[in-house]
Each structure stands twice: as C-alpha cells, then as structure tokens.
Amino acid sequence: MNPVDWIDEIKNNEEEALTSIYKMYRDDCIYWLQKSYSCTRDEALDIFQSTLVILYDNVKREKLTKLTSDMKSYLMGIAKNKALEMIRTKKKSTYLKPLNSWVDYVNEDQEEAILEEQLLAASKALSRIGDPCKSLLQYYFYQNKNMEEISELMGYKNADTAKNKKYKCLKRLQLLYYRHKD
Amino acid sequence: MRSSQQDIELLEAYIKGALDKETHTELEKRLAAEPDLFEDYKDLKVMIQGIRAHTLDEKYKQLKRLEDGLDNTTTIKKNDSFLKMVFLVVIVIALLLTISKFLLQNDTSKDVSFALNDDEFYRYVLHRTERSTEMDIDTQKTMAYNLFVIKDFKKAKPMLTTLWQERKDTLSYFYLGITELSLGNKEKAQKILSSNALDLYPVEDLLKLCE
C-alpha cells in the first residue's frame, strides 16, 4: 500500500484530510508535548490544533509542497516551536495571549508589518460580509483558485461573471474594513 | 475603492509578484504618482492578509469543534463501556444466583426428578412426626422415615427396602414407592404403588404421576 500523500489530500479534500491527520496524531502529539515541555493538557491540545492550522496554511500557500520526513515529524517540528513560543510568553508575562487570533501569525510572515488593528479590522470585515462574497474572496485570495474554477464552484455563468462579482465584493469588503478600522 | 477593476487586477498581480518587469516598473511609477491607487494598493494588501487570518481562524475553530465532537464520542464510548460493564456484572450475578439456587435445590432435595410439590408430598407422610421424649426403640424405622421426610431419597431407599423385605412394613413400602417416583424410576414406582400390599394407602394420584 502506498503511503498517503497528505499534501495532495489537503489540497483536494481538506476537511477529510485534516480530520484524519487530527485523529491520527492527536494523542501522540499531546502526550509528547506534555512530557517534553511540561504543558497542561489544554495547552498541549491548543498547540496541536494550532500546528494543524499552520500545516494547512503552509500547504495552501505552497510553502510546503513535499514532505521530506513523515507527517508526524513535521507536525512535531511545528509543535515544538509553538511550545517554546508559549514557554517564552509565559516567562515574560503571567498573561497568556490566546492563540486563537491568527493576526499575529499572519503578520509575522510579512515583509512589511501591517498594523495589528488594520489586520483585525480586515479579518472582521470578512466575517461581516457574508456569502457568497466571503467564499469567493477566500477562494481567490487564499486558495489561489482561478476564475474558471470559482465560477464552477459558485455556479456563475462564466469566469467574467465571477471576475465582476469579485471586484464588487472587494469594494464591499473595503467599505466594511474602513468601518472597523475607524 | 476608487481604482478601476483593471487597476485592481493589476495591483493583485503586483502583490502576488506575477507582473513582468516592464509592467512592474510602470505600476511602481504610477503608485508613486497616484495617491488613490496607492491607497487601494495598501488596503488590498491588508485585506488579502485579513482574508488569510480569518480563514485560519475559521480552520482553528473547526478543529476545536472536531475536538468537542471527539470528546463527546469518548464520553459516549466511556458510558457505553460503563453500561457494558454493568450489564456484564448483572449477567454474572444472575448466573451466580441461578447456580447457587440450583446447588441449593440439589442440596435440599438431593434428587432431581421429584414430581410432587411440598404440600402434596407432606400429604403422604403418614407416620407420627412429633418429637418424642421416650427412647425410640425402632431406630432403623425412625431413621428411614426421617430420611424420607427430609427428602433424602437416595439414603432412605435402601433402608426402606430392607424394612419392607425383612419386616414387611407396608408404610416403608409405600414410602419406597414415592421414593422411586421421586428418583425418576417411574416403572418401579408404579409396580410398588399398584401392589396389593398398598391397597389401603392413597396411591391413586401417585399412580397417575407414574404414567
């Protein structure tokens, strides 16, 4: 039996792939984090979940195109960094910043840092815009799908219709962004 | 968004790094000269990263929900195991009770195939069963009758046989007939109970049980 190509699976069937990976490596990873970094179970679980989100992001942004080791080692590599980051944060302050905002993580990647408030405002704007704009913008700007694929996915007449729709959605997003920014 | 759809598409390609060198240089010149275009470029950059942050947030929440689902499944599984264990314990207790009841029955009646219930049986106990202060002179008879009364038929049988054969004690013979019936020896019981020697004994119903 051939080993599963997880990267391909995440690209084409993300829900099922992530669920499978989650179930497969969850217990081992949590146990390892608790043992190696003296995390509580909740902290270890949080790190593991963040690890999977990072894996997903790396695949979608084509930062990860091929695994050089097995999936478990790859996940543990990310989890290790997350655990060390958590320890550093704990040492600095008794206040542990929640991991559930991905604004900081996204900002770390940027050549020029964007103001945190701006990024938060843009993220909130997307949550307010609703579908179909939200899905369309996510398909185009995050999943890197082209207009043909999007028109098929969203049931538009053709790629041009999707393109016009995207422009309108972007305009609406900008309006909402300004509202949240101010 | 003040820029045209075409300019926005140009900005998207610029952010993605997908423009050729010439268009790239040209756009940079325009960005320096056109404040509205530059404003839209800055916003577009933030919005693209905002879309990414929001998507990752959604993914993270989705994993939290998956965890909650797994937790519930584990609880259900745990409850399932608990119920299974309770069920098993109940089965074991029921089994033990059945076995002990069976053993107890065996112990008290000693015999398996007794056809009479207690009320019926004691109807056929015809000798005096009160305690006597006097010395019992007929120990053999007393012992045989007592064994019969406590339904220890296996032990009573040879003694009752002797009493009938040696002393022609008809009551012993009658008890022997019931004993054979109780031990499942219906033919023997029928032969004894239908004997002329027991004409005066209440054998009618007992003979029906021998059929």
Are the Cβ atoms of A177 and B67 closer than 8 angstroms? no
- The whole-number average pLDDT for the span B180-185 is 88
The per-residue pLDDT string of chain A (182 residues; one tens digit each, 9 = 90 and over) reads 456 788 888 888 888 889 988 988 888 899 998 888 888 888 889 899 999 999 999 998 888 888 888 888 899 999 998 888 888 877 766 555 554 468 878 877 766 667 778 888 888 888 888 888 999 999 999 888 889 999 998 899 898 999 999 999 998 898 888 887 77
**The token pair that represents B206 in the structure block:** 């007992």
How far apart are the C-alpha atoms of A64 and A57, rounded to whole Å?
Answer: 9
Are the Cβ atoms of B57 and A102 closer than 8 angstroms? yes
Percent of chain B scoring above 70 in pLDDT: 85
Closest partner CB to A122 (pick from B50, B67, B70): B50
Give the residue on B whose Cα is nearest the Cα of A123. Answer: B50
User: Is it the case that residue B134 has pLDDT exceeding 70?
Assistant: no
**The token pair that represents B131 in the structure block:** 């305690």
pLDDT at B174: 92
User: Is it the case that residue B185 has pLDDT exceeding 80?
Assistant: yes
Report residue B201's pLDDT band, with 50, 70 and 90 as the boundaries.
Answer: confident
Are the Cβ atoms of A119 and B56 closer than 8 angstroms? no
How far apart are the C-alpha atoms of A12 and A146, rounded to whole Å?
Answer: 15
How far apart are the C-alpha atoms of A71 and B72, rounded to whole Å?
Answer: 27
Report residue B76's pLDDT band, with 50, 70 and 90 as the boundaries.
Answer: low
Query: A19-23, B69-73, B121-125, B177-181 — which is least confidently predicted?
Result: B69-73
Q: What is the tens place of the pLDDT at every residue in A130-152?
A: 888 999 999 999 888 889 999 99
Probe site for chain A from B45, B59, B61 (most A CB atoms < 10 A): B59
**CA B99 to each of CA B90, B93, B108, B117: distance values in angstroms, whole numbers, following the listed order:** 14, 10, 14, 21
**Per-residue exposure over B76-110, b if at least 16 CB sit within 10 Å of its own CB, e if not:** eeeeeeeeeeeeeeeeeeeeeeeeeeeeeeeeebb
A75 CB burial (10 A radius; 0-12, 13-18, 19+): buried
**Cβ atoms B149, B175 nearer than 8 A:** no
**The token pair that represents A149 in the structure block:** 């694929």
Which range is most confident: A42-56, A96-110, B59-73, B95-109?
A42-56
How far apart are the C-alpha atoms of B126 and A108, rounded to whole Å?
Answer: 105
Beta strands in chain B, from DSSP E residues, in sequence order: none
Are the Cβ atoms of A110 and B43 closer than 8 angstroms? no
| Residue B83, min C-alpha distance to chain A (Å) | 25
Interface of A with B in 58-97 (CB under 8 A): none
Q: What is the tens place of the pLDDT at every residue in B14-40?
A: 888 888 899 899 988 989 888 889 989
Q: What is the tens place of the pLDDT at every residue in B162-171?
A: 999 888 888 9
Within 13 Å of residue B104, how many CA atoms lie on the same side as its CB? 6
ipTM beyond cut 0.90: no
How far apart are the C-alpha atoms of B11 and B23, rounded to whole Å?
Answer: 11
Give the residue on B whose Cα is nearest the Cα of A46. Answer: B64
